[in-house]
Structure 1
Amino acid sequence: MSTVSKKRVAILISGRGSNMGALLDAAVDPAYPIEIAGVISDTPGAAGLGIAAARGVPVQVIARADHASKDAHDGAIDAAIAELNAEIVALAGYMRLLTTPFVEKWQGRMINIHPALLPSFKGLDTHRRALEAGTRLHGCTVHFVTPQMDDGPIIAQAAVPVMIGDDADTLAARVLKAEHGLYPMALKLVAEGKARMQGGRTVFSGLAEDTANGDASLSAPGPLREEIDLEQLARITP
């Protein structure tokens, strides 16, 4: 029996660790090419730390308040990642901007998930802003991290409809469900070298076999697509 080569991944969180949980769930599969090396939070008491620890994943708090500068803080995080022997960094609700030297060191090996269809709605409060803009489609994006906020090359996206009567909470719940499917798929592509950052763009390779299995739709992974009421979808545009 062949053994799957697994990349060691460090996950950075600031809060509940919802997407972290999705990655932990995916990593349970022996065929998934990822080993979660550890979880690091900048927030003491972040709910995600308890979830990860309960599943036997090493956790560590590196608080900004314990360091004299942003550079020192990011240096401590980098040292912790090195101790974990991590090869990839996955930001999963990490709410602090990282310094340029840290980002440049990990460029091409650090990814993030953002709750909007980039390049639209960078930053915070994406669901409220999408509703205020009157968009009929919203969603989430996994991208490589660059020094500019929410501006790195896109790896994969999943779109969801904006329903009549949605508020920020109902729309956020729909997007979050899509995030939990999209992030493990995108991380898998990066770990397998099928999605890589090159020349400021995402370059894809080796997807033909996966396409035959319905797993390579980079806009909404086939087996993970959210079921949408077509009659309701037909009514989203007045």
Structure 2
Amino acid sequence: MSLLQVDGLRKSFGGVAALDGVSFALPAGQMLALIGPNGAGKSTCFNVINGQLRPDAGRVLLDGQDIAGLDARRIWRRGVGRTFQVSAAFASLTVLENVQAALLSHHRRLWQLWRPAAACLREQAMDLLAQVGMADQAGRACGVLAYGDIKRVELAMALSNAPRLLLMDEPTAGMAPRERQALMALTRRLVSERGLSVLFTEHSMDVVFAFADEIIVLARGQLIAQGKPDAVRQDARVREVYFGSGASFGSAA
């Protein structure tokens, strides 16, 4: 059984179908890229899976249990982590304090935030930072970090609830090519070590084709292609949607 099974999702806004019967599956231990041109329905699909939007119809099965319509907090507690395109870290807090805050939320101990940060789940937070290569910067404020390092901190925060499924919304947006490759290589390593499943949206085609096990393509709310990267790269309908011609994907976009 797939860890995530999306079945017939529909969502409309003002009569416009943002999702029109979208179905796909994500097995455990794989990275699935969700791509498509602007307005394809990617963000809507993400937000329905994550609980920020309620679908008009369809199911979202997490390990066989329907989570469609649950709020984001309840879905998070069922083992779904998420990183966002816009930074979700607190700039004024240190790297360590940001991860500690995420851990306190996971353990339902937010009432302890008034205590000295060093006393709250420090060892567990440092372990997460070590996993993403940020332990040596634990005492620095997030507001002074390079953008790629902030993304690593956010990844550590997303791992605080020991997720089975990780949703990554444009994880490499704003990054230089070397930073993009490094972050996704780190994600791939965590998938292998933790048995995570990852669903990610991405505009950088070099990232998509280098790291996705499979790719699904949306256009105008409908799924138009799904398969291994090489098959999707050669799909005529996908090329038409992206380029309006028979051109093939290059190594980067």
TM-score by length of 1: 0.31
Which structure ranks higher in relative contact order (CA pairs < 8 Å, sequence separation ≥ 6)? Answer: 2
Q: TM-score, normalised on structure 2?
A: 0.30
